[in-house]
Amino acid sequence: MRIAEVKNSREQRIAAHSHIKGLGLRDDGYAEPIASGFVGQEQAREACGIVVDLIKSKKMSGRALLFAGAPGTGKTAIALAISQELGPKVPFCPMVGSEVFSSEIKKTEVLMENFRRAIGLRIKETKEVYEGEITELTPEETENPLGGYGKTISHVLIGLKTVKGTKQLKLDPSIYESIQKEKVTVGDVIYIEANTGAVKRVGRSDAYATEFDLEAEEYVPLPKGEVHKKKELIQDVTLHDLDVANARPQGGQDVMSMMGQFMKPKKTEITDKLRKEINKVVNKYIDQGIAELVPGVLFIDEVHMLDIECFTYLNRALESTLSPIVVFATNRGMCSIRGTEDIISPHGIPVDLLDRLLIIRTLPYTLEEIRVIITIRAKTEGLTVQDDALNHLADVGLKTSLRYAIQLLAPANIMAKINGRDEIFKGDVEEAGDLFLDSKRSAKIVTEENRGFIV
């Protein structure tokens, strides 16, 4: 008999920043030279550690950061590390400057939509629930009132047990449908909301922990207190979720309203009036202590792609009472601001917006740092590289770019396999380098053979 473990396909996918696990800071806030997938950039990482502390203490709302540095110096990686340090409950919304140029909706609408995606709302609700381990689950049948041979379920008897006692409940047939959807069986721990009748399966009772040897079940302890109790439930949503939920037309069941919903374009603009109404309700909930605002991170890469209209809008949006932490990234130096003809500014950003930003600089990597990064990357991709090949890749990375050196790993591995080896040799890297040009060699060919290209 063969037993094979099914591996999660998501874990096998390797993206550009799969090796980044966090900022790699010590408890005292100083950066380790090599930690959490990062190599070097100690100053930038330490600055980001302070930013993470400010975000967690909710003292950073309405401010903005700018990562400025050459291509391939880890700007996007540091922004991703900030989101990982904040944890999964803090919203992180990445976008690229060119995303705002949509044929369907206005530039400012795209920016506002992403602003709202990056602001979370943690709603705390105290609900009356019946919670416990199921000891009995018996559907009671009756004759079908419409006639015929079939029978229908009139009610369901369910027994719930906690540390303090047990209770038997008689439930409506509609709740039995919810129980079936949750795939609840005897021995599971569940809770049923008293007002709505919604059923939620928490897990399997830990009394059944030794029930099966091969089982990927989540075991939970027997609930404390009485079966019938008041429980605090926490729900995380973003302001954009609230906008979409309220903007979607409910409509009737007639043909015309259904056709209207089908004919609507996929992307629709949400009005300022609706957003103001939602903001009023949100502020009311915050004042009452029902909800808590969680300002997240909006990361805008290639910020020089935005135009003067977007920058003007960002100036106003950053001053709003409901605003996330905005992180910009750019690899441009002095260049003209898009949407203007003759205004040249650092990073292509207007000076009035630059004054609002905290600027973090990312430095080019040294030869040794490039070598360590390529080693980490090869390990992430599951590749074995010889020392000669690593040294050659580090030299290539220093002369051309780090991205190009990392991109050579996969084709060099294929070359090694063609030659019947599992280990990448220096010759494999050189062969891959001959086949695939870097940007500098490509530019040189274009200048030398200019006549052959269309100008």
> For the segment 367-422, what is each residue's pLDDT rounded down to a tens digit?
888 898 888 888 888 888 888 999 999 999 888 888 888 889 989 999 899 888 88
Residues 6 or more apart from 239 whose CB is under 8 A from it?
A: 116, 117, 119, 120, 121, 278, 282, 322
Beta bridge partners of 345: 335
Query: Beta partners for 121?
Result: 237, 293
Domain range list for the chain: 15-118+296-362, 123-289, 367-448
CA distance 296 to 116: 10
Sequence-distant (6+) residues with CB within 8 A of 324 are: 61, 91, 93, 115, 118, 119, 295, 296, 297, 298
Please tell me the CATH superfamily of domain 15-118+296-362, with its number. Answer: P-loop containing nucleotide triphosphate hydrolases (3.40.50.300)
Instruction: Please state, in angstroms and rounded to a whole number, the distance separating the CA atoms of residues 132 and 224.
Output: 9
pLDDT, one tens digit per residue, over 162-208 is: 888 888 888 877 788 788 887 888 888 888 887 777 888 888 887 77
Q: What is the pTM of this model?
A: 0.67
Phi and psi at residue 283, in whole multiples of 5°? -60, -35
**367-448 CATH pick, 1.10.10.60, 1.25.50.10, 3.40.50.300, 1.10.8.60:** 1.10.8.60
Specify the CATH superfamily of domain 123-289: RuvBL1 DNA/RNA binding domain (2.40.50.360)
Cα gap 86→52, rounded to integer Å? 7
Q: What is the pLDDT of residues 283-340, one digit of tens each?
A: 888 888 888 888 788 889 888 888 898 888 888 888 877 778 888 999 888 888 888 8
Q: Which two tokens stand for residue 174?
A: 């509609």
